[in-house]
Amino acid sequence: MTTTFARPRFGFLAAAAIWLLTFAVAAPAQPVAADAACTPTVTKSPFGRMPDGTAVDLYTLTNSHGLEVKVMTYGATVTSVKTPDRNGRLANITLYLDTFDDYLRGHPLFGSVVGRYANRIGGAKISIDGVEYPLSPNAGQNHIHGGREGFQKKVWDAQPSPRDGAAGVEMTLLSPDGDEGYPGTLQVKLRYELSDENELKIEYTASTDKPTVVNLTNHAYWNLSGAGSGVILGHLLTLYAGDYLATDDQKVPTGEIRSVQDTVMDFTEPHAMGARIEQVEGQNYDHCYVLNKRPGESLVLAARVADPASGRAMDVWTTKPGVQFFTARFLNERWQAGGRPYVPYHGFCLETQHFPDAPNKPHFPSPVLRPGQTYHHITVHKFSVRPL
């Protein structure tokens, strides 16, 4: 059974103002005509069941221009983001799997929300107020993405949450005290919202009853030509970051913040993702960039990506201090969708987040959340097309 939720639209935007995103180095984005008969909608449908019988649902968000986002309650996972190319053809631009059973068998976090702490924590331990907490080691001797049973393996509660001019779904999760070693009972609320401005907004909030650390992100793999269509090495990337975090051989930050200037890490001007990748260790970008945030700034532009082949473009905005850029060289045909296997460089990640290992690096921005405080993080993906 499929249930659809919609809210009447007010003050419908003129087609000429729809596509807001442009690139400083390119012609303006092309507008997409609106369909006055359409309103943003939220549709709920069954997607699968956990081994214990727990139902997993799929929520489909659609805006009035035909953009579509699908999110399942297992891992609060984005399974589809459909946007048009310069010829109006829709394609899913995030890597996905065909069935729920495929996801259940294991995957490299395609579109999932990871936590309590995204990225790496060295030595699988943290210290808060002089008290040390051992975490589950799941990356050698280190801890990554919340542990063996992180938020990506939980079934979230969900309900439709439409707003004027936007389709949305709100998800909640309770993480008990001691979950994967983290102190405190953490209450998490997550909202996905697809607006008529062609923006996918992800908003995270959390509260705790004991001091703890929190760092939530979505681990989507993007391919603006379409999932399974080929490698992303020709995508043009701009990162609004003048520094990045140096790491050891386990990809745990050493604490040193390095300038990108005159290095293969420099994306302060648009570069093809693959232009210098052979000079990168392991021929793979997997680095946290330090965003150019001024004191008092909240939501800032972190990245711009353009695909010359399809004309699709994406801006990423965030309230967090860092973004992990990852080119997924490890992908292989173990994972596939639509009969097309994924291979190295078939997707890229831009994971907005606190710095990895920040709980153990006092000079990094603090990820500690205390009782009475609210964790709040917003990431916005703005989609558009570029003409030839």
Enzyme catalytic residues: 219, 351
Is residue 51 exposed (0-12), middle (13-18) or buried (19+ Cβ within 10 Å)?
A: exposed
Largest CA distance in the chain: 60
Cβ neighbors of 49 (< 8 A, separation 6 or more) are 55, 56, 100
DSSP notation for 171-233: EEEEE-TTGGG--S-EEEEEEEEEETTSEEEEEEEEEESS-EE-B-EE---B-TT-TTS--ST
Q: How far apart are CA 172 and CA 203, in angstroms?
A: 12
Handedness of CA 297, 324, 73, 228 (dihedral sign): positive
Nearest to 343 by CA among 196, 223, 164, 206: 223
C-alpha span between 69 and 99 (Å, rounded): 16
Beta carbons of 330 and 344 less than 8 angstroms apart: yes
CA 368, 288, 105, 231: dihedral to nearest 10 degrees?
A: 160
| Residue 339: φ, ψ to 5° | 80, 5
Helix (H, G, I), strand (E, B) or coil at 153: helix
Cα separation, 38 vs 66, in Å, equals 9
Closest by CA position to 291, among listed 219, 337, 241: 241
DSSP lists the bridge partners of residue 353 as: 322
Q: How many Cβ atoms are within 10 Å of 149's Cβ, its own excluded?
A: 12
Distance CA 180, CA 143 (A): 10
